[in-house]
Structure 1
C-alpha cells in the first residue's frame, strides 16, 4: 500500500563537525522518538560518515524518507564544499545517491542551516537563521520558502579572516568567551545592516554562550527545533530551491 504524505515517517539527520544526530519525524515535524547521536568519524570522509549513519539508525523504527542537514554547500544532493569535514573528501560527491543506496529510501540533502531554518521559522517575511558551532552556518527564507543558499561563512569579515575563522570553535578556544562575545556583537551588527531581516534565529551549540541581551526580533533555537525541518523538506510548496534542476546550457 502506498504511503500517503500525512502518514510519512521521516528519518531526519543532522551532520555536524563533532556529532551526527538523528530522529524519526511524522509529516508535521513532530519527533516520534528522542533523537540520538554518534561521534562524527575521523576522518569524516563520505564512506565513514555513511557507515556512522548506518550504525546510528540500525535499530530505528521503520521510515519512508530521509532528510539530511549537511555542514557545507549542497546543490541537488551533490556536495560542493564541506569545510569542517574536509573539502578534499567531499567535492562533487553525490551524497544523496550514496545515502539512497545505503538506506534504501528516497533522500533529500541540504545545508544544515537551511534544514534548521525550515524547522524554526514562522513563515512570515524575511527570516534569517544562523548556527554558531564548529563553523558559522546561515540560511535565508522568505515567507517560509528557502532562498538560494549563500555561504556567508566564507566571506571575509576581519583582517582577511572569514566568519568560520573569526567566530567558529577554533576562535572561541583561542580567545575565550568574553572576546568571542564581542566578536559576535560585531557580526550581529553586520547581519542586521546587510540583510535587513525581519527575524533572526540563532542555533548551534555555542549559542548558549551568548552573554548579552538580544533584540526583540532575535531568538535562540535548539537543535531539536532545527531537526524538525527534515519533515518540511518533503512538503512540495516549502522548498522550491531544493528541487530546482541544474540548468541545461543552451547552444
Structure 2
C-alpha cells in the first residue's frame, strides 16, 4: 500500500473482490474528532478504528491532510465513504455548522477525496451515515446524534430522505437543536438539565416526524439517564463508520 493508503487492486477487478473485498475506507468526520477504518464487503471493520482530534480551525485543506495522515496506517481499500457534519448534496458541501460554513460552502468533498486517494468516493451527512448503519429498513425511522452539535437523519423503508438541516431549526425560543443539545449546552447546563432537554427534543420530533423508531447516537448519548420511550434506543458510535458500506449498495 502506498503512503496515502491506496489499494493495489483497481475497484471492480477480480482482486478487489477476493478475501472479503471490495474494501471500503469509511471516514466519520466530526466537529471534535475524525475516525476511520476499512470495511469488508459485509460492512465489518477489518482494522481497529483510528481516532484523532479534529484540527481547529479545520478548513478543507487541513481536513484532507489530517485524513491522509490517519489513513496511512490502515489497510488497502478500493473505494471511500465519508460522513460529513453538515448538509451535503451531490458530493458538495452546503453547510458546515461546526467546522465553519464560510470555509466549506460549495466545497466538492466527494471529488476531492476521490482525487486525493485515486479511488471513487461517496459522501453523505454524518448522522445519515450512522443511521444507515443501524436502521431496520422498515417504516419511518430517524436518528438523532448528540455530539459537538445535534445531527438528524430521516429514513423511510430503508431509504434516506433528502437532507433537511433540522439541527439548525429553533427548538426552544431562539435555540436550535445544535444549541439546545450540543456539546456547549451539555457543558453549560449539566447532565440533569441536558437530559430534560433530550426528552423535550424527543417529544417534539415524535410529533413532527411521526417516526416508528428513533435511534440516538453520538458521543454524548452515553450521558442519557433513565428510561426512554419503547420506540427509542441508544446505538453504538461505530455505526458512524460501519454505516459507510450502505453508500455503495445502490448505483450512483
Could you tell me the TM-score, scaled by structure 2's length? 0.91
1:183 aligns with 2:197: yes
Q: Note if contact 1:120-1:226 (Cα within 8 Å) is conserved in structure 2.
A: no
Residues 31-86 of structure 1 deviation map (CA, whole Å, 9 limit, x = unaligned): 11111111111111000000000000012111000000000000011000001001
Any stretches of 5+ residues in structure 1 without a counterpart?
Answer: 238-242, 244-251
CA RMSD of aligned residues (A): 1.3
Q: For 1:140, what is the secondary structure of its paired residue?
A: strand
Q: For 2:248, what is the secondary structure of its paired residue?
A: coil
Question: Which aligned segments of 4 or more residues in structure 1 are displaced greater than 6 angstroms?
Answer: none
Any stretches of 5+ residues in structure 2 without a counterpart?
Answer: 1-12
After TM superposition, the structure 1 = structure 2 runs for residues 49-64 of structure 1, keeping only pairs within 5 Å, are 49-64=63-78
Question: Deviation at 1:170?
Answer: 0.7
Distance 2:34 2:98 in 1: 13
Q: For 2:240, what is the secondary structure of its paired residue?
A: helix
2:51 counterpart residue number: 37
Residues 73-118 of structure 1 deviation map (CA, whole Å, 9 limit, x = unaligned): 0001100000100111101000111111111110001000110111
Could you tell me the TM-score, scaled by structure 1's length? 0.92
Q: For 1:139, what is the secondary structure of its paired residue?
A: strand
2:163 counterpart residue number: 149
Distance 1:226 1:43 in 2: 22
- The size of the alignment, in residue pairs, is 238
Residues 121-154 of structure 1 deviation map (CA, whole Å, 9 limit, x = unaligned): 0111111011001001011111111111111101
